[in-house]
Structure 1
Amino acid sequence: MSLSSFMDEIRKIPPVTRFLGASTLAVSLPVMLQLVSPYSVLFVKRFVVENFQLWRMYTSFFYAGSGITFLFEFIMLSRNSLSLETGHYPGRSADYAWQLLIAAFAIIGLNIPLKSFLHFRPLLMSILYLTSCLTPTAMVSIMGLINIPNKYFPYALLGMDLVTGGTGAAASSLTGLIAGHAWWYLVHSDESGRPGRAYATAPAWLWRIVGDGPEVAGAARGGRVVGAATAAAREATQRTTGYNWGTGNRLGDS
């Protein structure tokens, strides 16, 4: 594959998902290759406030560890973000970026009392939680051993964090679930009357930066109300929700 063909394939990825994936690679790979000290990407409130090292607010969201953990979490982030951006934010990538930005600031605020240094996992958990609420019946395979409805998937990961990382890791992941629940409740939940919808539309400057992103039939542009995704988009969303921890099973397969 030529470089131009490769770049064409990259451009097909919706803008917000492309930004998340590129940022994760840009922050994680130099640390894994020992080109950058991991301490330079951590969120340390004192350094941010007193020394104005504002980049730490960005890098702390995109260091995904190393080895097999990095691979799993990178795939989960990419696939779930892609399913959201194409299936639930068609033609509204700027709105998705705006709501994700608000969720990120909420995660920082919730993690300051916990003195957490990294925010990648909470960000991932917030995206997973929103996806699980929007596609609750999709089946997800965990480590190829058990299939569960997608609505339980974030809680399963939270339990795994508790077992593998202890209460500190679980508490940090829980902040992502809280942010994700607020995101769903305020913007997407019909039961709530969607009280956050008035603040969910991206400002004009962000639309100019991000653009509309991928569209489906019936989707409006420019921040106006967008209709539901097509049946094909919904089906694609359910097929790509979550991450298959097994070896060869496709999500949605029993």
Structure 2
Amino acid sequence: MVRAAPSNSSNRGGIRSDGAQIAEWFGSIPFCTRYLLGTTGLITLLCGLHVVPMYQLVLLWPQIIQQFQVWRTLTTFLLSSLSINGLLHIIMLYQHSLALETEEFAGRTADYAWFLIFSMLSILSVSWITGSMVHSYGLLLAIVTLWALRRSEQTVKFFLGFKFPARYLPYALMGFDCLMNGGQIPFSMVYGWGAAQAYYYLSVELPAQGRLNYIPTPQFVYRMFGMANRTGPGSARTASSGRTTGSQRPGGDGHFWGSGRRMG
């Protein structure tokens, strides 16, 4: 008896199904995190495959000022590497940005976008001091720092299983990067840490003390992303209520960090 060869239609259907699930997952990610994840992944892939020269995307002020290559002020925050280090960078970016956008900034896309814009502008404003060309880790540290400030007592896991309160995570990341790069100070990461500290103090701690918010979200950002939905679970948190303790969150978060090559 001759049996017909098995059809590949089910395999093709499985591939289509997997692709649809990935597309559905990606589409479900909140806007700012989806944009950061997608553009960082795409630009990193293009540069890693040498489709686009990384030199055309890094922060070089002479080219920006003299040749009006203004895209560099954005792409400098979206560069990683095709390596284990780059993969861990993208994973941490996704985890912490998603947590902020879906919890602290739930229903407030414009406010979260303003935090990212404020952080990037702050990093750019001091980047000329050291001439750093890549600031993707600086933006990551800004996100991680704000995440840690909101969860200062939550227990996190670091490299080799070390556990400590979340408030120390930014310092652990900077220290580890410094160690892995022969003692070089990770200036971009320091800038990101400072930007998040400034944002938190000016927009959270001072208003919680009854003082003004000195860096409110500009109206043009609201026009771009829509007004805040004040009914969101993260919309009315103050400096005290925003700091979630480890006892309020079951378990701890795992964090892994390694530094392959110096990028900024």
Question: 1 CA distance for matches of 2:40 and 2:78?
Answer: 4
Deviation of 1:140 after TM superposition, in Å, equals 1.3
Aligned residue in 1 for 2:188: 172
- Gaps (5+ residues) in structure 2? 1-16, 258-264
Aligned pair in 2 of structure 1 residues 80, 160: CA closer, same or farther (>3 Å)?
Answer: same
Residue identity matched to 2:31: P
Is the aligned partner of 1:209 residue 2:224? yes
The partner residue of 1:149 within 165, 180, 184 is: 165
For these two proteins, the number of residue pairs brought into alignment is 236
Q: Deviations over 1:227-254 (max 9, x none)?
A: 249x9xx7999579865229xxxxxxxx
Cα separation, 2, equivalents of 1:89 and 1:241: 21
> Are the equivalent residues in 2 in contact too, given 1:138–1:149 (CA < 8 A)?
yes
> Is the contact made by 2:206 and 2:213 (CA closer than 8 Å) also made in structure 1?
no
Corresponding residue for 1:49? 65
| Alignment-derived partner of residue 236 in structure 2 | 227
CA distance 1:150–1:26, change in 2 (3 Å): same
In structure 1, what residue type is equivalent to 2:73? M
Q: CA deviation at 1:65?
A: 2.2
Q: Which runs of 5+ in 1 are unaligned?
A: 247-254
Letter in 2 for 1:89: F
SS of the residue 1:74 aligns to: helix
Residue 256 of structure 2 is matched in structure 1 by 245
User: Could you tell me how far apart the structure 2 residues matched to 1:192 and 1:124 are?
Assistant: 26
Q: What is the CA RMSD across the aligned residues, in angstroms?
A: 3.1
Give the counterpart of 1:32 among 48, 67, 92: 48
2:112 corresponding residue in structure 1 = 96
Q: Give the counterpart of 1:182 among 195, 198, 216.
A: 198
Distance in 1 of aligned mates of 2:82 and 2:251: 24
Whole-Å separation in 2 of the counterparts to 1:178 and 1:186: 12
Quickly say closer, same or farther: Cα 1:110–1:5, change in 2 above 3 A: same
Aligned partners of 2:154 and 2:245 also within 8 Å = no
Partner SS for 2:51: coil
Residue 133 of structure 1 corresponds to: 149
Q: AA paired with 1:126? A: A
Cα gap change, 1:168 to 1:244, in 2 (>3 Å):
closer
Mapped partners of 2:252, 2:61: distance in 1 = 34
Query: Is residue 2:83 matched to residue 1:83?
Result: no
Shift of 1:68: 0.4
CA distance in 2, matches of 1:38, 1:104: 19
Please give the secondary structure, in 1, of the residue aligned with 2:140: helix
Superposed displacement of residue 90, structure 1 = 1.1
Shift of 1:190: 5.3
Q: Is the 8 A contact 2:152 2:166 kept in 1?
A: yes
Deviations 1:63-105 (A, max 9, x none): 0123001111101111101111111011101111012101101
TM-score scaled by length of structure 1: 0.81
Q: Tell me which amino acid in the other structure corresponds to 1:209.
A: M
- 1:159 deviates by 0.7
Q: What TM-score do the two structures reach when normalised by structure 2?
A: 0.79
SS of structure 2 residue aligned to 1:48? helix
1:167: Cα distance to partner?
A: 5.1
Task: Tell whether the 8 Å contact from 1:122 to 1:176 is kept in structure 2 after alignment.
Answer: yes
Q: What is the CA distance between 1:41 and its match in structure 2? A: 1.2
Percent sequence identity over matched residues? 25
Contact 1:188 1:194 in 2 (8 A): no
Quote the Cα distance in structure 2 between the aligned partners of 1:239 and 1:104. Answer: 32
Contact 1:187 1:195 in 2 (8 A): no
